[in-house]
Structure 1
Amino acid sequence: MSTLSQPHQAAAARDAAPTRRLPTRRRWFMLSLLLIATIINYVDRVNLSIAAPFMSKDLGLDKIQMGLVFSAFAWTYAFALVPAGFVADRLGSRLAYGASLVTWSLATVGQGLVGGFASLFGLRLLVGALEAPAFPANSRAVTVWFPARERGIASSIYVCGQYLGTALFTGALMWLATSWGWRHVFYSTGVVGVVFGLAWLYLYRDPGTCKKVSAEELAYIEEGGALVKSSEQRTRFSWRQVGELMSYRQVWAICLGKFASTSALYFFLTWFPTYLIEERHMSTIKAGIFAVLPFIGATVGILLAGVVSDLLIRRGYSLSFARKLPLVVGSALGMSIVLVNFTDSNLVCIAVLTCAFFAQGIASASWAAVSEIAPKELIGLTGGITSLAANIGGIVTPIAIGAIVQTTHSFANAFWFIGAVALIGTLSYSFLLGRLYRIELKAH
């Protein structure tokens, strides 16, 4: 993690130039669309955990079955990410994301109609597959719309949507489940997604096809390193490209680091409300209030990581140092989650979990690193590969925690498991990642 890397001195000097006043700021409008889409994306993941305490009793589901249902989303989501990344590169962010939003939201509405384990499990598999284009399309959109000096905060803003939605809507969805029944949680979140999906198709454009972006803004983002021309390119998929990407240590390191941080994320997205209600014996209302705090902490963490990372670049530090520092610090601090095993106080428990999720938010700045290393022809595919690794954590963690709780009747060993995985992420980012640079594909 050297401070200045020779190949990036010129780029750092360029990015350190003061921002010009531009006739349009269309890139920030597009980013606001990404943020809203990501909020909906994660609300439709976490809605199951909010409904779970009520649903499990109503449908007669035990901890092993709930662990399988919690993980079902990640099974299809993870393995659809590589083809979904190609789809994002081939169709562009507008069509890929729009179709994904509308279809997964319809499947979300369907979850409100389930009558047992099989139908619920099947629909969660379907939602996972249909959400797969989302983050590759996010990564691609930021890479084509934002110069390098703004890419860290831009990535952080849309990634914070995965925490912000839960922080904003957990209480409302808890109230909805308590007052109207758990099925209405799925009806309401699904309908919102369909409406916004149609709005996305109407409003979003890549810079090469956007009629409302000025020539000055277009020149500014392209001069700053935005891959504007890639928004006009279409590439053909080849498994050889996947193999070539996996020959780079940077890709492997980000894959391992994302696996680690996503393992912590999926605890909070799945078992967290159940932990508060069943192990900490909180009421539904109290759990709904306390459950918001770690998500606020994670939101602060990801935004802070983006601001600090971009600030370091503007101050002349190398791109590698600026992008890697949040990843190492966040992963290391994430190991603090094991401290929850040493307190009986609910307030201290929430404080520890808020700190741990704040750290996970910092480590989620890895999306900016993906934007920096992805070949210009394969931005979506690179995002798909690293997301695949991340969401293997989404498969493993809910099942592992379900099995641990079922056999030990306690969450204690589950926190030791998450802490050990955070250590793997820390080591990967510290020693395996190396220098960040944009990968140039070999001619075949």
Structure 2
Amino acid sequence: MDTEIRVGVYNNKKTHVRFLILFFVFIITAISYADRVALSIVGSDLIKEMNLDVATLGRIFSAFGIAYMLMQIPGGYLLDRYGSIKIYAYSLFFWSLFTFLHGFVIFAPAMYIVVSLALLQFLLGVAEAPAFPANTRIVATWFPTKERATAASIFNASQYFSLAVFSPLLSWVTYNFNWQYVFVVMGVIGFIFTLIWSRLVRNPLEHRSVSAAELSYIEQGGAMIHMDKPKVKNKSPSMSNIKKLITNRSMFGIFLSQYFLNTITWFFLVWFPIYLVQAKGFPVVKAGLVAAIPAIFGFSGGILGGVFSDFLLKKGFSLTVARKIPIVIGMLLAACIVLCNYTNNNTIIIILMALAFFGKGFGALGFPVITDTAPKEMVGLCAGIFNVFGNLAPVVTPLVIGTLVKETHSFNAALIYVSCSALMSMCCYLFIVKDIKRFEI
């Protein structure tokens, strides 16, 4: 093993620095999701104050998704070229800045407020684009294969944690102050964590607190600790390699499944609070509290799905079986969201939403699958392509659901759309993806 390692006094002890790194990844990812949903939290107030309709709000939401999708491959390339830690720090700073600026859009001329919001959402999408590919690379760098699904599920579960914690907080801020303060608060939080990240997070070969024992353990277990080794330069992304990734049957199935999975995610992120207010008559503050309930179940499902997958792997099941079983179970549970159309009991609706979000979290193993299958020299690029497919959903979903709600004056068709997306995500793994193994170029 290469020993150009900046270890401290812990050479003879097995440290657990990788879990500290995962903790920071978890928190930063939770902040990124809070910044994405902030506009949804204040959406009802914006509709009233600025005389918008849900279709216009859907177009503003989609501006984020368009930018986020377009920047996935460039973002993945930058990560492979310059390293996860540095690019993540820049990304966090700029998305916090654009979130902060949302709070001052009210000072724009009235005719330009919608354009200003859409532009800031677009810039937010540009800045956040490297986040999940960076998470994937960091987990691949710090965690052995047998811990990878759990680690990836933990950072992926931060989206549910974000909803559970920030939805009530931001709803309270909106109610007691004004919607502009939501963005100011989130921007300041992001600036603080930019400083923390820059000072405390490093790669395995550069971290002063990691021991030789831990480094040996993660490397022998399959962690790619040399991925961001200094002075190693990565080539520009090759179109032929991108084509090979997309045209490979299993890789394409993994990519496509993420699109359908993210449709569920974006219903809960963007439309669920509005659904509670407009369709079910909840006050804004109560809607924020109620929205936290499915998020808590989603968080639990997200953690348990990864733990269950790694448990199956340790019990001797193949990697393919260990990853696919939780996905199938989870998507079947997520499809239960359609049952909300057949009851007017708000308690039952919240229970069904919680079950659906639990299932979505349990089956959200796309990121560990990518770390299992991506070519070693292109993890960032592969994760970027994966996120391009996944983030067609934040472009399409707000437009489709906004149009369905506007035309039908009901969320029923929207819930059918989300349920079918869960089943399609499952079918991708059952009928398109074959064996889950490292793809070599």
Determine the C-alpha separation between the residues in 1 that align with 2:160 and 2:13.
31
1:168 aligns with 2:165: yes
2:245 touches 2:252 (CA, 8 Å); kept in 1? Answer: no
Deviation sequence 1:87-133 (CA, Å, 0-9, x none): 11111111111000000100001111113101000000000011000
Aligned length: 421
1:26 aligns with 2:17: yes
Show the 5 A alignment for 1:385-396: 385-396=385-396
Deviation sequence 1:264-291 (CA, Å, 0-9, x none): 1101111111110111011223212211
Residue 17 of structure 1 is matched in structure 2 by none
Deviation of 1:183 after TM superposition, in Å, equals 0.3
Deviation sequence 1:198-255 (CA, Å, 0-9, x none): 2111111111222221111111000001011222143112222211211222211111
Between 1:404-413 and 1:227-236, the stretch displaced more is 227-236
Equivalent AA in structure 1 for residue 210 of structure 2: V
1:81 to 72, 77, 81: 72
Residue 217 of structure 1 is matched in structure 2 by 214
Displaced runs of 4 or more, over 6 A:
none
Determine the C-alpha separation between the residues in 2 that align with 1:338 and 1:38.
29
Residue 157 of structure 1 is matched in structure 2 by 154
1:262 touches 1:391 (CA, 8 Å); kept in 2? Answer: yes
Determine the C-alpha separation between the residues in 1 that align with 2:166 and 2:67.
26
Residue 234 of structure 2 is matched in structure 1 by 235
Residue 360 of structure 1 is matched in structure 2 by 360
- Unpaired runs of at least 5, structure 2: 1-11, 107-112
SS in 1 for 2:382: helix
Determine the C-alpha separation between the residues in 1 that align with 2:326 and 2:235.
34
Show the 5 A alignment for 1:3-82: 22-82=13-73
Residue 113 of structure 1 is matched in structure 2 by 104
2:139 to 118, 142, 145: 142
Deviation of 1:177 after TM superposition, in Å, equals 0.3
Residue 132 of structure 1 is matched in structure 2 by 129
Show the 5 A alignment for 1:325-344: 325-344=325-344
Cα gap change, 1:321 to 1:22, in 2 (>3 Å)? farther
Determine the C-alpha separation between the residues in 2 that align with 1:235 and 1:162.
31
- Unpaired runs of at least 5, structure 1: 1-20
Show the 5 A alignment for 1:396-411: 396-411=396-411
1:277 aligns with 2:277: yes
1:192 aligns with 2:189: yes
SS in 2 for 1:230: coil
Between 1:248-257 and 1:296-305, the stretch displaced more is 248-257
Between 1:204-213 and 1:375-384, the stretch displaced more is 204-213
Determine the C-alpha separation between the residues in 2 that align with 1:174 and 1:300.
23
Deviation sequence 1:289-322 (CA, Å, 0-9, x none): 2111111111011100111111111111111111
Residue 123 of structure 1 is matched in structure 2 by 120
1:207 touches 1:231 (CA, 8 Å); kept in 2? Answer: no
1:300 touches 1:358 (CA, 8 Å); kept in 2? Answer: yes
1:98 touches 1:197 (CA, 8 Å); kept in 2? Answer: yes
Residue 9 of structure 1 is matched in structure 2 by none
Residue 14 of structure 1 is matched in structure 2 by none
SS in 1 for 2:227: helix
Between 1:21-30 and 1:64-73, the stretch displaced more is 21-30
Determine the C-alpha separation between the residues in 1 that align with 2:379 and 2:199.
23
Determine the C-alpha separation between the residues in 2 that align with 1:327 and 1:106.
36
Determine the C-alpha separation between the residues in 2 that align with 1:303 and 1:315.
18
Normalising by structure 1, we get a TM-score of 0.93
Equivalent AA in structure 2 for residue 91 of structure 1: Y
Equivalent AA in structure 2 for residue 34 of structure 1: V
2:175 touches 2:285 (CA, 8 Å); kept in 1? Answer: no
1:256 touches 1:424 (CA, 8 Å); kept in 2? Answer: no
Normalising by structure 2, we get a TM-score of 0.94
Between 1:260-269 and 1:359-368, the stretch displaced more is 359-368
Equivalent AA in structure 2 for residue 193 of structure 1: G
SS in 2 for 1:235: coil
Deviation of 1:195 after TM superposition, in Å, equals 1.3
1:88 touches 1:133 (CA, 8 Å); kept in 2? Answer: yes
RMSD: 1.2
Residue 3 of structure 2 is matched in structure 1 by none
Deviation of 1:22 after TM superposition, in Å, equals 4.7
Residue 4 of structure 2 is matched in structure 1 by none
Equivalent AA in structure 2 for residue 142 of structure 1: V
Equivalent AA in structure 2 for residue 86 of structure 1: Y
Show the 5 A alignment for 1:250-329: 250-329=250-329
Between 1:415-424 and 1:131-140, the stretch displaced more is 415-424
Deviation of 1:172 after TM superposition, in Å, equals 1.4
Equivalent AA in structure 2 for residue 376 of structure 1: K
Equivalent AA in structure 2 for residue 212 of structure 1: S
1:96 aligns with 2:87: yes
Determine the C-alpha separation between the residues in 2 that align with 1:27 and 1:135.
17
